[in-house]
Structures are given as C-alpha cells and as structure tokens.
Amino acid sequence: MNKSVYVDNNATTAVAPEVTEAMLPYFTEHWGNPSSMHAFGGNVKKALDEAREKVAALIGAEHPNEIIFTSCGSESDNMAIRGAVDAMGGHPHIITTRVEHAAVLGPCHYLEDKGFRLSTLEVDAKGSLDLNQVLELSMSGKKTVASIMWANNETGVIFPIPAIGSIVKQGGGVFHTDAVQIAGKLPISVKDAPVDLLSISGHKLHAPKGIGALYARRGTKVTPHIMGGHQERGRRAGTENVPYIVGLGKACEMAMENMQKDALHERKLRDRLEAGILASCKGAHVNGGGAERLPNTTNISFEYVEGEAILLMLDDVGICASTGSACASGSLEPSHVLRAMDVPRSMLHGSIRFSFSRYNTDEDVDYVLEKLPPIIKRLRELSPFAND
C-alpha cells in the first residue's frame, strides 16, 4: 500500500486537532460534575453552557436552552420522533420519506407496528421531493408529526426544508428534520425555517463519535425517553458528557469560521473527481447529479459492477470510500435510497459514495483517478453482463 486516502467523510470525520486540544482539560484538570453546587463543578457547568451557545449559533437557534445534548444523531432522531408523537397524544399521522436514514425510518416503522398511520413520500430520479405530496398529507385535517431530512447522507441531495416546514406548520403539524449531514457544511438557520426539532451529530463535523444534539424550539413538547434526572432541563436524564460536549462546541465554532472556505474547497475536489470518473470509466452515472447537493458528496454508479468488489479493490490500494450509509454496512440489499430513485438494476449494486472534508487534497483526487479506472475496467471484464 503506497498511500492512504480517506474519502468517506459522510460516514465519519477525523477529530480536528483543535477539538482534541479543547477537550483534554476536561478529562484531567476540570473533571467535576456540572450539577454539583461547589465551584469545581460550577466551572465545568460554565464550559457546558459555552458549548451550548456555540451549537445554537451554528444552526441559528434563538436561545441556547433550545439545545439538548445527546449521545449521537440517532438518539436525537429517536427522541424527536417518538418524543413528539408521545407528547402529542392520540394517534397522530406520521410523515417521512423513503430515503431517510435508518435512525428515522426505524422509529417510524416501530410506531407503524404499534398502530400509527405512516406515510412515506416518494422521490424522483434526481432524488428530489414533490412538495405537492407534503401539502396533500399535511392538510389532511389529522394531527401530524413529519420527519424529513435536510440533506441525504448517500447522495447529498438537499431538500427544501424551509418550504416543507411551512407546509407542515400550516397544517398544524410538528416538524423534525435530520440535519446530521448538512450541519457544519452549509449555512442553516432555524430562525428562517419553521423547524420544531432538528438533529445533529458531532462526528460528522470533526467532533468525536458519541456526542450529538437535538434542537427543540421553545414551546415544542417532547416527552423525554431517558428519565431519572434533572439534566438538560429535565429533557434527558444522565450526567452530561462534558469533554465531548466541549468538543462539539469547538467543532461548531470552527465550522462557522471555515464553512465558506471549506465548502468551496470540497466542491472543487468533488467536481474534479466526478468529471474525471465520468471521462475515464465506462458506464458511470452520478446519482442525484441533477439536484442541489452537498458540496462534499458524490454518489456514482458503475454499470454491471458490484460495489462491494470496487470497495475491496480500492481498499487494497489504500482508498477508503463506501457504498452508502455506514449504518447499513454489511447488508447485501441494494441501497433503499437508490431504489427509491429508480436507479436501473444494472447500476443498483454498483454504487460508490465519495465524500470529502477540509482535510482532503488535490493529491487525493489524483490518486483516486489513478487507481479507480483500472479497477472498474477489470471488474467490467469479469462481469458476465457487461458485454451482452
């Protein structure tokens, strides 16, 4: 192996050195409990409050107390959906899309099994939503809880969340968005979007794994699912993970400072990689290429080639990519996102996601463009279908 190139940043990002540095004192010097009455705990509580302010600033929240710290994006999604449904009472109509992350689809299908009505919105071949679907379901006259992602984790396709939120709120519903992939990559503001609940995850924006947050707009009722303590204003019991919360706050601060520069850098790398692959690899197609996308993400299908085989051969030469969501790793089923987009069967199993971060370089793209085309050529030669 001559080189290691990591282009799987939608799965997880490297912890920024500045984030690690900010966290370290809270493992060693400032290890008190932020709920303690003494000054040693009070100093830790101050750091927790400062981190909450930084997370709130990243998403344009009106008040830091609208931020609830969780263990990850999946917990935030579950807390939002199940908590909102439980707080609403009765049997509200649940609305989501076919292309959501498993952390949203999981609780939605769980509630469906419990007797709740669930509607899943379709997407077109570009991965985009038809707002008329949202309008029809939101205006049905029944109480609704809608959960629709801001940006897709596999294709990077961005949904018009301000418009969708307006429709849901007009119908009197509660609106949650999974913003795990877009937070820190592009500007978002809950002041400008009628969002009641919003999920983020630290390890998608150069903070550690094991820390996330849920934004809950003031007045939005969410039943806590971890009970037994007063922490997080009674909304999530358990002593706060202070070092990781501090790390998340620092990562959010850095994202705000570097977002424009990082997005420009990542889009340049993404576009050059796409152009190079399409020019050098027969039967390549960009999934969601006709829609607005995250600047760092491309999902490319290779006709008559198995994605797992591509990944294994890329790994042999030190290139780390993925076939889609890391949470679906190990599944032999084709991507539910690409199936929803009606990607042809000849391409459905041959999809690779490349996702960049601020730490990727032009040399990384050069290396992928050097190693990938011969791999695709070899696999197509072995395919029993490629030459039919």
Catalytic residue positions, numbered: 327
Rounded (5°) CA angle 76-114-234: 35
Question: Whole-angstrom Cα distance, residue 295 to residue 151?
Answer: 11
User: Are β-strands 93-97 and 118-121 bridged in parallel, bridged antiparallel, or unpaired?
Assistant: parallel
Instruction: Decide if 186 contacts 263 (C-beta within 8 A).
Output: yes
* Tokens describing residue 278: 């399409």
Question: Beta strands of 43-117 (E only): which ranges?
Answer: 67-70, 93-97
Question: Whole-angstrom Cα distance, residue 44 to residue 67?
Answer: 17
Kindly give, in sequence order, each residue whose CB lies less than 8 Å from that of residue 89, ignoring residues fewer than 6 positions away: none
Class of residue 274 by CB neighbours under 10 A (exposed 0-12, middle 13-18, buried 19+): middle
* Tokens describing residue 249: 């706050």
HSE-CB of 269 using CA atoms within 13 angstroms: 27
Question: Whole-angstrom Cα distance, residue 378 to residue 388?
Answer: 16
User: Are β-strands 93-97 and 144-147 bridged in parallel, bridged antiparallel, or unpaired?
Assistant: parallel
Question: Whole-angstrom Cα distance, residue 100 to residue 78?
Answer: 13
Question: Whole-angstrom Cα distance, residue 151 to residue 326?
Answer: 16
User: Within 10 A of 73 (CB to CB), how many other CB atoms are there?
Assistant: 27
